[in-house]
Amino acid sequence: MVDIVSTAAVVGFIGDALLQIGIKKFKMGGPTGWGLKEYFKQHGSLESLFIPAAMLSLFYIFYIYVLKLPLTYTNIAIYGIIIDYIFRTFVIFPSLIGYYQYFNYFWSAVWFAIPMMIPLFIYLKFKKTL
């Protein structure tokens, strides 16, 4: 059976790797890389891979074991938007200031909700086959 917390970790790791490749090799996101060049510079390429892996896992652990809400796309998307708002408002990661300056509230929320839903999609798709 696919474990959703482990899936979240893998999604965070691979997603960050693809983001780094896109920004560094293909110059995606313009000169600031969507405001993430400073983040990657501060944390380094390797450490940056593990941060979203751990964060996505912890977000799912909190959602499943503390909030105990149903695992639905709508719930996870709203949860992701709330987390993004908290991170933006209280500057939880100062290294992401450039990212929040680049994106407005709407787009940063969208780009947080989508990665939150990907582990759920994989979990629901493959939980019966593995």
Dump pLDDT digits (tens) for 13-72. Answer: 999 999 999 999 999 999 999 999 999 999 999 999 999 999 999 999 999 999 999 999
Local confidence band at 129 (pLDDT 50, 70, 90 cut-offs): low
Q: How far is CA 87 from CA 76, 77, 82, 114, 127, in A?
A: 16, 15, 9, 16, 31
| Position 7 pLDDT exceeds 50 | yes
Q: Which of 58, 38, 60 shows the shortest CA–CA distance to 48? A: 38
Report whether 8 contacts 54 (CB < 8 A): no
Q: Percent of the chain having pLDDT more than 70?
A: 96
- Residue 86: pLDDT band with limits 50, 70, 90: very high
For 78-103, what is the mean pLDDT?
96
* pLDDT tens-digit readout, 106-118: 999 999 999 999 9
- Tell me: pLDDT of 130 over 70: no
Please state, rounded to an integer, the average pLDDT across all residues of the chain. Answer: 95
- Report the 10 Å Cβ neighbour count for 107: 11
pLDDT of residue 127: 82
Q: Report pTM.
A: 0.92
Q: Residue 1 pLDDT > 50, yes or no?
A: no
State the residue for tokens 């979240």: 8
Taking CB atoms within 8 Å and a gap of at least 24, the contacts of 18-25 are: 20/45, 20/48, 20/49
Q: Which amino acid is at 70?
A: P
